[in-house]
Copies of this chain bind each other. A is one copy, B any other.
Protein backbone atom coordinates (compact mmCIF):
# COMPACT_ATOMS: atom_id res chain seq x y z
CA UNK A 1 0.00 0.00 0.00
CA UNK A 2 2.70 2.48 0.89
CA UNK A 3 4.31 1.93 -2.51
CA UNK A 4 1.03 3.04 -4.10
CA UNK A 5 0.96 6.05 -1.86
CA UNK A 6 4.51 7.01 -2.73
CA UNK A 7 4.00 6.51 -6.44
CA UNK A 8 0.79 8.52 -6.38
CA UNK A 9 2.26 11.41 -4.40
CA UNK A 10 5.41 11.50 -6.52
CA UNK A 11 3.30 11.73 -9.63
CA UNK A 12 1.36 14.56 -8.00
CA UNK A 13 4.42 16.57 -7.07
CA UNK A 14 5.92 15.95 -10.52
CA UNK A 15 3.06 17.95 -12.00
CA UNK A 16 2.18 20.21 -9.05
CA UNK A 17 5.57 20.73 -7.36
CA UNK A 18 5.78 24.23 -8.90
CA UNK A 19 2.58 25.16 -7.08
CA UNK A 20 3.93 23.96 -3.73
CA UNK A 21 7.17 25.91 -4.29
CA UNK A 22 5.12 29.03 -5.06
CA UNK A 23 2.99 28.57 -1.97
CA UNK A 24 6.14 28.06 0.09
CA UNK A 25 7.75 31.22 -1.34
CA UNK A 26 4.63 33.18 -0.35
CA UNK A 27 4.91 31.86 3.20
CA UNK A 28 8.62 32.75 3.36
CA UNK A 29 7.93 36.27 2.11
CA UNK A 30 6.13 36.98 5.39
CA UNK A 31 8.90 38.33 7.64
CA UNK A 32 9.09 36.39 10.90
CA UNK A 33 11.76 37.89 13.15
CA UNK A 34 11.15 36.20 16.50
CA UNK A 35 11.10 39.61 18.22
CA UNK A 36 8.35 41.07 16.03
CA UNK A 37 4.93 40.13 17.45
CA UNK A 38 3.01 41.90 14.73
CA UNK A 39 4.86 39.98 12.00
CA UNK A 40 4.43 36.71 13.88
CA UNK A 41 0.67 37.27 14.02
CA UNK A 42 0.61 37.62 10.22
CA UNK A 43 2.50 34.33 9.88
CA UNK A 44 0.15 32.52 12.25
CA UNK A 45 -2.96 33.63 10.34
CA UNK A 46 -1.47 32.78 6.94
CA UNK A 47 -0.44 29.30 8.08
CA UNK A 48 -3.86 28.61 9.62
CA UNK A 49 -5.43 29.61 6.30
CA UNK A 50 -3.21 27.18 4.33
CA UNK A 51 -4.31 24.26 6.54
CA UNK A 52 -7.97 25.29 6.60
CA UNK A 53 -7.94 25.23 2.79
CA UNK A 54 -7.03 21.50 3.09
CA UNK A 55 -9.92 20.74 5.42
CA UNK A 56 -8.14 21.02 8.78
CA UNK A 57 -9.81 22.72 11.73
CA UNK A 58 -7.43 25.47 12.82
CA UNK A 59 -7.38 27.91 15.71
CA UNK A 60 -5.00 30.85 16.25
CA UNK A 61 -4.68 31.01 20.04
CA UNK A 62 -3.67 34.45 21.23
CA UNK A 63 -2.17 35.62 24.52
CA UNK A 64 -1.40 39.28 25.22
CA UNK A 65 2.27 40.08 24.58
CA UNK A 66 3.01 36.66 23.04
CA UNK A 67 3.23 35.28 19.53
CA UNK A 68 0.10 33.18 18.85
CA UNK A 69 0.07 29.40 19.08
CA UNK A 70 -1.57 27.84 16.05
CA UNK A 71 -3.40 24.63 17.03
CA UNK A 72 -5.43 22.38 14.77
CA UNK A 73 -6.67 18.94 13.78
CA UNK A 74 -6.70 17.03 10.53
CA UNK A 75 -9.01 14.07 11.12
CA UNK A 76 -8.99 10.57 9.62
CA UNK A 77 -11.28 8.45 11.79
CA UNK A 78 -12.13 8.55 15.48
CA UNK A 79 -10.46 5.20 16.18
CA UNK A 80 -7.28 5.93 14.20
CA UNK A 81 -4.13 6.66 16.14
CA UNK A 82 -3.19 10.33 16.52
CA UNK A 83 0.17 11.92 15.84
CA UNK A 84 1.04 15.36 17.14
CA UNK A 85 2.97 17.69 14.84
CA UNK A 86 5.10 20.51 16.24
CA UNK A 87 6.59 23.16 13.92
CA UNK A 88 7.77 26.66 14.76
CA UNK A 89 7.04 29.51 12.39
CA UNK A 90 9.28 32.23 13.88
CA UNK A 91 12.84 32.81 12.65
CA UNK A 92 16.13 34.07 14.02
CA UNK A 93 16.81 37.79 13.44
CA UNK A 94 18.39 38.30 10.01
CA UNK A 95 21.07 40.89 9.28
CA UNK A 96 20.10 41.66 5.67
CA UNK A 97 23.47 43.25 4.90
CA UNK A 98 25.24 39.89 5.04
CA UNK A 99 22.75 38.02 2.80
CA UNK A 100 23.13 37.61 -0.95
CA UNK A 101 19.39 38.18 -1.42
CA UNK A 102 17.04 39.83 1.12
CA UNK A 103 16.07 37.32 3.85
CA UNK A 104 12.33 37.76 3.26
CA UNK A 105 12.47 37.81 -0.54
CA UNK A 106 12.75 34.10 -1.39
CA UNK A 107 15.13 33.36 -4.23
CA UNK A 108 15.62 30.05 -6.04
CA UNK A 109 19.20 29.40 -7.17
CA UNK A 110 21.15 26.59 -8.80
CA UNK A 111 23.67 24.90 -6.54
CA UNK A 112 26.61 25.19 -6.13
CA UNK A 113 27.03 27.78 -8.92
CA UNK A 114 24.32 30.07 -7.56
CA UNK A 115 22.54 31.15 -10.74
CA UNK A 116 19.15 32.73 -9.95
CA UNK A 117 16.19 30.71 -11.31
CA UNK A 118 12.65 32.13 -11.58
CA UNK A 119 10.12 30.40 -9.32
CA UNK A 120 8.81 27.70 -11.74
CA UNK A 121 5.38 27.72 -13.33
CA UNK A 122 3.34 24.78 -14.70
CA UNK A 123 5.46 22.46 -16.83
CA UNK A 124 8.81 24.06 -15.91
CA UNK A 125 11.54 21.58 -14.96
CA UNK A 126 12.66 21.64 -11.30
CA UNK A 127 16.07 20.35 -10.19
CA UNK A 128 16.37 18.54 -6.85
CA UNK A 129 19.70 20.26 -6.18
CA UNK A 130 18.38 23.80 -6.47
CA UNK A 131 18.11 25.76 -3.25
CA UNK A 132 15.41 28.13 -2.08
CA UNK A 133 17.01 30.96 -0.04
CA UNK A 134 15.07 32.80 2.67
CA UNK A 135 14.99 33.10 6.45
CA UNK A 136 13.16 30.02 7.81
CA UNK A 137 13.30 28.17 4.47
CA UNK A 138 14.85 25.36 6.54
CA UNK A 139 14.26 26.46 10.14
CA UNK A 140 11.42 25.92 10.38
CA UNK A 141 8.75 26.58 7.76
CA UNK A 142 9.82 23.66 5.51
CA UNK A 143 7.84 20.98 7.42
CA UNK A 144 4.63 22.99 6.94
CA UNK A 145 4.87 22.72 3.17
CA UNK A 146 5.87 19.04 3.44
CA UNK A 147 2.63 18.25 5.30
CA UNK A 148 0.51 20.45 3.05
CA UNK A 149 2.03 18.77 -0.01
CA UNK A 150 1.37 15.28 1.38
CA UNK A 151 -2.27 16.11 2.11
CA UNK A 152 -2.68 17.52 -1.42
CA UNK A 153 -1.04 14.44 -2.97
CA UNK A 154 -3.23 11.95 -1.10
CA UNK A 155 -6.38 13.90 -1.88
CA UNK A 156 -5.50 14.22 -5.57
CA UNK A 157 -5.06 10.41 -5.73
CA UNK A 158 -8.17 9.89 -3.62
CA UNK A 159 -6.19 7.94 -1.01
CA UNK A 160 -7.45 8.02 2.58
CA UNK A 161 -5.42 9.22 5.57
CA UNK A 162 -4.91 6.52 8.22
CA UNK A 163 -3.96 8.88 11.00
CA UNK A 164 -5.39 11.81 12.86
CA UNK A 165 -2.99 14.74 13.08
CA UNK A 166 -3.04 17.42 15.77
CA UNK A 167 -1.00 20.53 15.14
CA UNK A 168 0.95 22.79 17.45
CA UNK A 169 2.75 25.59 15.56
CA UNK A 170 4.79 27.86 17.83
CA UNK A 171 5.96 31.43 17.18
CA UNK A 172 8.50 31.82 19.98
CA UNK A 173 10.98 28.97 19.55
CA UNK A 174 13.84 31.24 18.51
CA UNK A 175 13.17 33.32 21.64
CA UNK A 176 13.62 30.26 23.86
CA UNK A 177 9.91 29.22 23.95
CA UNK A 178 9.11 31.37 27.01
CA UNK A 179 5.33 30.73 26.88
CA UNK A 180 5.10 27.31 25.25
CA UNK A 181 4.42 25.49 28.50
CA UNK A 182 1.60 27.82 29.55
CA UNK A 183 0.13 27.57 26.06
CA UNK A 184 0.29 23.76 26.13
CA UNK A 185 -1.36 23.66 29.54
CA UNK A 186 -4.23 25.74 28.17
CA UNK A 187 -4.86 23.57 25.10
CA UNK A 188 -3.74 20.24 26.56
CA UNK A 189 -7.03 18.43 25.86
CA UNK A 190 -7.03 19.45 22.19
CA UNK A 191 -3.48 18.18 21.77
CA UNK A 192 -3.87 14.60 23.00
CA UNK A 193 -1.76 12.36 20.77
CA UNK A 194 -0.09 8.97 20.89
CA UNK A 195 3.26 10.51 20.02
CA UNK A 196 4.60 13.92 19.03
CA UNK A 197 6.77 14.60 16.04
CA UNK A 198 8.96 17.64 16.46
CA UNK A 199 9.50 18.73 12.88
CA UNK A 200 12.69 20.77 13.04
CA UNK A 201 16.39 20.52 12.31
CA UNK A 202 18.49 19.03 9.52
CA UNK A 203 19.08 15.49 8.30
CA UNK A 204 22.45 13.90 9.00
CA UNK A 205 25.56 15.62 7.62
CA UNK A 206 26.18 12.49 5.53
CA UNK A 207 22.92 13.26 3.68
CA UNK A 208 21.16 10.26 5.25
CA UNK A 209 17.68 10.85 6.69
CA UNK A 210 17.55 10.66 10.46
CA UNK A 211 15.18 10.09 13.34
CA UNK A 212 16.34 11.91 16.44
CA UNK A 213 15.53 10.73 19.95
CA UNK A 214 16.27 13.90 21.82
CA UNK A 215 17.73 17.36 21.80
CA UNK A 216 20.14 19.32 23.91
CA UNK A 217 18.63 21.77 26.33
CA UNK A 218 19.47 25.40 26.37
CA UNK A 219 20.35 28.27 28.60
CA UNK A 220 22.13 31.49 27.85
CA UNK A 221 23.23 34.80 29.23
CA UNK A 222 24.57 38.20 28.30
CA UNK A 223 27.70 39.12 30.26
CA UNK A 224 28.78 42.75 30.59
CA UNK A 225 31.98 43.89 32.29
CA UNK A 226 32.13 47.53 33.35
CA UNK A 227 35.03 49.95 32.93
CA UNK A 228 34.97 53.73 33.35
CA UNK A 229 31.58 55.45 33.37
CA UNK A 230 32.26 56.82 29.88
CA UNK A 231 34.59 56.00 27.00
CA UNK A 232 37.99 57.60 27.55
CA UNK A 233 40.80 58.73 25.29
CA UNK A 234 43.13 55.74 25.12
CA UNK A 235 46.22 57.94 25.04
CA UNK A 236 45.47 60.11 28.03
CA UNK A 237 44.25 57.20 30.17
CA UNK A 238 45.74 54.04 28.61
CA UNK A 239 47.80 52.15 31.21
CA UNK A 240 45.96 53.75 34.12
CA UNK A 241 42.22 53.16 33.63
CA UNK A 242 41.26 49.44 33.64
CA UNK A 243 40.07 48.24 30.24
CA UNK A 244 36.80 46.24 30.41
CA UNK A 245 37.50 44.50 27.07
CA UNK A 246 40.72 43.08 28.52
CA UNK A 247 38.90 42.06 31.71
CA UNK A 248 36.20 40.35 29.61
CA UNK A 249 38.89 38.49 27.65
CA UNK A 250 40.37 37.17 30.90
CA UNK A 251 36.92 36.09 32.11
CA UNK A 252 36.03 34.34 28.84
CA UNK A 253 39.43 32.62 28.70
CA UNK A 254 38.74 31.38 32.25
CA UNK A 255 35.43 29.77 31.13
CA UNK A 256 36.96 27.33 28.68
CA UNK A 257 40.54 26.24 28.04
CA UNK A 258 42.24 25.93 24.69
CA UNK A 259 41.62 22.18 24.61
CA UNK A 260 37.83 22.57 24.42
CA UNK A 261 37.20 21.82 28.10
CA UNK A 262 34.87 24.10 30.07
CA UNK A 263 36.71 25.04 33.27
CA UNK A 264 33.68 26.29 35.21
CA UNK A 265 33.63 24.08 38.30
CA UNK A 266 30.91 21.41 38.26
CA UNK A 267 29.99 22.03 34.59
CA UNK A 268 30.05 18.35 33.61
CA UNK A 269 28.98 16.82 36.95
CA UNK A 270 25.26 16.20 36.28
CA UNK A 271 25.44 14.93 32.71
CA UNK A 272 23.89 11.46 32.37
CA UNK A 273 26.21 8.95 30.66
CA UNK A 274 24.85 7.29 27.49
CA UNK A 275 23.20 3.83 27.85
CA UNK A 276 24.63 0.84 25.95
CA UNK A 277 21.84 1.19 23.33
CA UNK A 278 22.76 4.82 22.83
CA UNK A 279 26.46 3.99 22.59
CA UNK A 280 25.59 1.40 19.94
CA UNK A 281 23.55 3.96 17.97
CA UNK A 282 26.46 6.43 18.20
CA UNK A 283 28.91 3.81 16.96
CA UNK A 284 26.65 3.09 13.97
CA UNK A 285 26.58 6.67 12.74
CA UNK A 286 28.35 7.37 9.45
CA UNK A 287 31.63 9.32 9.82
CA UNK A 288 31.16 12.86 8.60
CA UNK A 289 34.01 14.64 10.33
CA UNK A 290 36.59 14.84 7.51
CA UNK A 291 34.04 16.06 4.98
CA UNK A 292 32.66 18.59 7.45
CA UNK A 293 36.09 19.98 8.30
CA UNK A 294 36.79 20.38 4.60
CA UNK A 295 33.45 22.07 3.94
CA UNK A 296 33.78 24.40 6.95
CA UNK A 297 37.37 25.41 6.14
CA UNK A 298 38.82 24.02 9.34
CA UNK A 299 42.13 22.30 9.97
CA UNK A 300 40.93 20.48 13.11
CA UNK A 301 37.97 20.13 15.42
CA UNK A 302 37.99 21.95 18.76
CA UNK A 303 39.14 18.69 20.35
CA UNK A 304 41.37 17.37 17.57
CA UNK A 305 40.07 14.02 16.33
CA UNK A 306 36.86 14.29 18.37
CA UNK A 307 33.68 12.88 16.80
CA UNK A 308 30.88 15.41 16.38
CA UNK A 309 28.20 13.14 17.85
CA UNK A 310 30.19 12.35 20.96
CA UNK A 311 30.65 16.07 21.59
CA UNK A 312 26.87 16.52 21.48
CA UNK A 313 26.44 14.18 24.45
CA UNK A 314 28.08 16.72 26.78
CA UNK A 315 27.08 20.31 27.57
CA UNK A 316 28.72 23.11 25.57
CA UNK A 317 29.56 26.71 26.39
CA UNK A 318 29.64 28.88 23.27
CA UNK A 319 30.49 32.58 22.83
CA UNK A 320 27.87 33.60 20.29
CA UNK A 321 28.94 37.27 20.19
CA UNK A 322 31.36 39.92 21.43
CA UNK A 323 31.03 43.68 21.52
CA UNK A 324 33.01 46.63 22.89
CA UNK A 325 33.24 50.11 21.34
CA UNK A 326 34.11 49.66 17.62
CA UNK A 327 36.53 47.81 15.38
CA UNK A 328 37.66 48.21 11.77
CA UNK A 329 36.64 51.33 9.86
CA UNK A 330 34.69 52.66 12.83
CA UNK A 331 37.42 52.17 15.42
CA UNK A 332 38.03 55.00 17.85
CA UNK A 333 41.05 55.46 20.09
CA UNK A 334 39.18 54.86 23.32
CA UNK A 335 39.12 52.75 26.42
CA UNK A 336 35.61 51.24 26.13
CA UNK A 337 33.13 51.97 28.94
CA UNK A 338 31.98 48.35 28.95
CA UNK A 339 32.48 45.09 27.08
CA UNK A 340 29.86 42.41 26.45
CA UNK A 341 29.72 38.78 25.46
CA UNK A 342 26.65 36.78 24.56
CA UNK A 343 26.90 33.15 25.56
CA UNK A 344 24.74 30.09 25.07
CA UNK A 345 25.02 26.85 26.99
CA UNK A 346 23.71 23.66 25.39
CA UNK A 347 22.65 21.12 27.97
CA UNK A 348 23.04 17.36 27.73
CA UNK A 349 20.61 14.91 29.34
CA UNK A 350 20.73 15.35 33.11
CA UNK A 351 21.92 18.97 33.16
CA UNK A 352 19.77 21.55 34.93
CA UNK A 353 19.62 24.96 33.21
CA UNK A 354 19.20 26.97 36.41
CA UNK A 355 22.09 25.18 38.07
CA UNK A 356 24.32 25.92 35.05
CA UNK A 357 23.64 29.65 35.39
CA UNK A 358 24.36 29.40 39.12
CA UNK A 359 27.74 27.81 38.34
CA UNK A 360 28.54 30.78 36.09
CA UNK A 361 27.66 33.18 38.90
CA UNK A 362 29.85 31.24 41.31
CA UNK A 363 32.70 31.22 38.80
CA UNK A 364 32.54 35.01 38.44
CA UNK A 365 32.35 35.45 42.20
CA UNK A 366 35.43 33.24 42.45
CA UNK A 367 37.24 35.67 40.13
CA UNK A 368 36.35 38.52 42.49
CA UNK A 369 33.44 39.91 40.47
CA UNK A 370 30.47 41.62 42.04
CA UNK A 371 27.63 40.42 39.81
CA UNK A 372 24.44 42.42 39.17
CA UNK A 373 21.39 41.79 37.00
CA UNK A 374 21.03 45.50 36.09
CA UNK A 375 23.17 48.59 35.45
CA UNK A 376 25.44 49.46 38.42
CA UNK A 377 24.87 52.60 40.47
CA UNK A 378 27.66 55.17 40.76
CA UNK A 379 28.26 53.96 44.31
CA UNK A 380 28.60 50.34 43.17
CA UNK A 381 31.03 51.40 40.44
CA UNK A 382 33.21 53.15 42.99
CA UNK A 383 33.07 50.28 45.46
CA UNK A 384 33.79 47.21 43.31
CA UNK A 385 36.99 46.93 41.25
CA UNK A 386 35.43 44.03 39.35
CA UNK A 387 31.87 44.65 38.33
CA UNK A 388 29.79 42.49 36.01
CA UNK A 389 26.21 42.17 34.90
CA UNK A 390 24.48 38.96 33.87
CA UNK A 391 21.20 38.94 32.00
CA UNK A 392 20.12 35.31 32.10
CA UNK A 393 17.80 33.30 29.86
CA UNK A 394 16.91 30.29 31.99
CA UNK A 395 16.01 28.08 29.02
CA UNK A 396 15.07 24.42 29.45
CA UNK A 397 16.58 20.98 29.98
CA UNK A 398 17.56 18.39 27.39
CA UNK A 399 15.26 15.43 26.71
CA UNK A 400 15.88 11.98 25.23
CA UNK A 401 13.55 9.00 24.73
CA UNK A 402 14.80 5.37 24.66
CA UNK A 403 15.84 3.86 21.34
CA UNK A 404 13.17 1.17 21.89
CA UNK A 405 10.14 3.52 21.86
CA UNK A 406 7.68 2.00 19.26
CA UNK A 407 7.00 5.17 17.27
CA UNK A 408 10.76 5.27 16.58
CA UNK A 409 10.66 1.97 14.65
CA UNK A 410 7.66 3.19 12.66
CA UNK A 411 9.40 6.45 11.76
CA UNK A 412 12.61 4.67 10.76
CA UNK A 413 10.57 2.45 8.43
CA UNK A 414 8.63 5.34 6.91
CA UNK A 415 11.78 7.38 6.42
CA UNK A 416 13.58 4.48 4.74
CA UNK A 417 10.64 3.95 2.37
CA UNK A 418 10.35 7.64 1.51
CA UNK A 419 14.07 8.14 0.95
CA UNK A 420 15.12 4.74 -0.35
CA UNK A 421 18.22 5.04 1.86
CA UNK A 422 19.47 3.65 5.18
CA UNK A 423 18.25 5.90 7.99
CA UNK A 424 20.31 7.12 10.94
CA UNK A 425 19.09 6.76 14.53
CA UNK A 426 20.52 9.84 16.22
CA UNK A 427 20.45 9.86 20.03
CA UNK A 428 20.36 13.65 20.25
CA UNK A 429 20.14 16.75 18.12
CA UNK A 430 22.93 19.22 18.83
CA UNK A 431 20.39 22.02 18.74
CA UNK A 432 17.70 22.66 21.30
CA UNK A 433 13.96 22.12 21.09
CA UNK A 434 11.68 22.16 24.12
CA UNK A 435 10.89 18.42 23.95
CA UNK A 436 10.48 18.08 27.70
CA UNK A 437 7.16 19.99 27.64
CA UNK A 438 5.60 17.29 25.46
CA UNK A 439 6.54 14.55 27.91
CA UNK A 440 5.56 16.59 30.96
CA UNK A 441 2.39 18.39 29.82
CA UNK A 442 1.08 16.23 26.97
CA UNK A 443 2.33 12.94 28.41
CA UNK A 444 3.50 11.56 25.09
CA UNK A 445 6.91 10.62 23.70
CA UNK A 446 8.38 13.25 21.40
CA UNK A 447 10.64 12.38 18.49
CA UNK A 448 12.42 14.80 16.18
CA UNK A 449 11.83 14.20 12.49
CA UNK A 450 14.06 16.53 10.44
CA UNK A 451 13.91 17.06 6.69
CA UNK A 452 16.25 20.02 5.93
CA UNK A 453 19.67 19.64 4.30
CA UNK A 454 22.52 19.81 6.85
CA UNK A 455 24.20 22.76 5.09
CA UNK A 456 21.10 24.97 5.31
CA UNK A 457 22.88 27.90 7.07
CA UNK A 458 20.24 27.84 9.77
CA UNK A 459 20.43 30.94 12.05
CA UNK A 460 22.96 32.56 9.73
CA UNK A 461 22.96 34.48 6.43
CA UNK A 462 21.74 32.76 3.24
CA UNK A 463 19.57 30.19 5.00
CA UNK A 464 18.26 27.78 2.38
CA UNK A 465 16.40 24.53 1.75
CA UNK A 466 17.47 22.08 -0.93
CA UNK A 467 14.47 21.33 -3.17
CA UNK A 468 15.18 17.58 -2.94
CA UNK A 469 14.84 17.78 0.83
CA UNK A 470 11.45 19.42 0.49
CA UNK A 471 10.43 16.54 -1.82
CA UNK A 472 11.73 14.06 0.78
CA UNK A 473 9.55 15.77 3.39
CA UNK A 474 6.44 15.47 1.20
CA UNK A 475 7.18 11.79 0.49
CA UNK A 476 7.81 11.07 4.16
CA UNK A 477 4.55 12.67 5.24
CA UNK A 478 2.65 10.85 2.49
CA UNK A 479 3.94 7.51 3.78
CA UNK A 480 3.11 8.44 7.39
CA UNK A 481 -0.40 9.67 6.57
CA UNK A 482 -1.22 7.06 3.94
CA UNK A 483 0.00 3.93 5.81
CA UNK A 484 -1.75 2.24 8.72
CA UNK A 485 0.14 2.41 12.01
CA UNK A 486 -1.03 0.06 14.78
CA UNK A 487 -0.28 2.79 17.29
CA UNK A 488 1.38 2.63 20.68
CA UNK A 489 -1.27 0.30 22.14
CA UNK A 490 0.69 -2.50 20.50
CA UNK A 491 3.79 -1.40 22.30
CA UNK A 492 5.05 -4.06 24.69
CA UNK A 493 7.77 -1.78 26.06
CA UNK A 494 5.49 0.97 27.25
Contacts and interface: CB of A to CB of B under 8 A. Distances in A.
A15 interface: no
Most chain B beta-carbon neighbours within 10 Å: one of A201, A308, A342: A342
Contacts of A329: 35
A317 B306 CA distance: 36
A457 B230 contact: yes
A102 interface: no
Given A235-B346, A249-B319, A331 B299 contact: no
A324 B322 contact: yes
A431 interface: yes
A341 B301 contact: no
Given A233-B458, A332-B92, A239 B346 contact: yes
A385 B326 CA distance: 27
Given A231-B459, A322-B327, A250 B258 contact: yes
Contacts of A304: 385
A229 to B, nearest CB: 4
A432 B236 CA distance: 9
A119 interface: no
Contacts of A234: 316, 318, 320, 344, 346, 459
Contacts of A325: 320-322, 342
Contacts of A53: none
A490 interface: no
A356 interface: no
Interface stretch (A43-51, A57-65, A289-297): A289-297
A314 B298 CA distance: 40
Contact of A327 (B229, B298, B342, B378): B342
Most chain B beta-carbon neighbours within 10 Å: one of A235, A301, A317: A235
Contacts of A294: 382
A240 B238 CA distance: 37
Contacts of A95: 326, 330
Say what secondary structure dominates the interface of chain A: mixed
A236 B93 contact: no
A25 interface: no
B321 A331 contact: yes
Contacts of A340: 327-328
Contacts of A327: 222, 320-323, 340-342
Nearest to A340: B327
Contact of A245 (B235, B319, B458): B319
A355 to B, nearest CB: 19
Interface in A206-249: 215-216, 218, 220, 222, 227-243, 245-249
A322 to B, nearest CB: 4
A385 B334 CA distance: 32
A228 B250 CA distance: 23
B333 A344 contact: yes
A312 interface: yes
A430 B236 contact: yes
Most chain B beta-carbon neighbours within 10 Å: one of A92, A304, A346, A459: A459
Given A298-B381, A323-B322, A460-B230, A252 B245 contact: yes
A420 B326 CA distance: 41
A387 to B, nearest CB: 8
B239 A249 contact: no
Contact of A311 (B230, B239, B429, B459): B239
A318 B335 contact: yes
A302 B245 contact: no
A59 to B, nearest CB: 30
Interface string A244-287: 01111110110110101000000000000000000000000000
- 9 tightest CB-CB pairs across the interface, nearest first? A235-B431, A229-B297, A297-B381, A249-B252, A238-B316, A236-B430, A231-B460, A245-B319, A239-B316
6 contacts: A95-B330, A230-B296, A231-B457, A239-B302, A240-B303, A250-B253
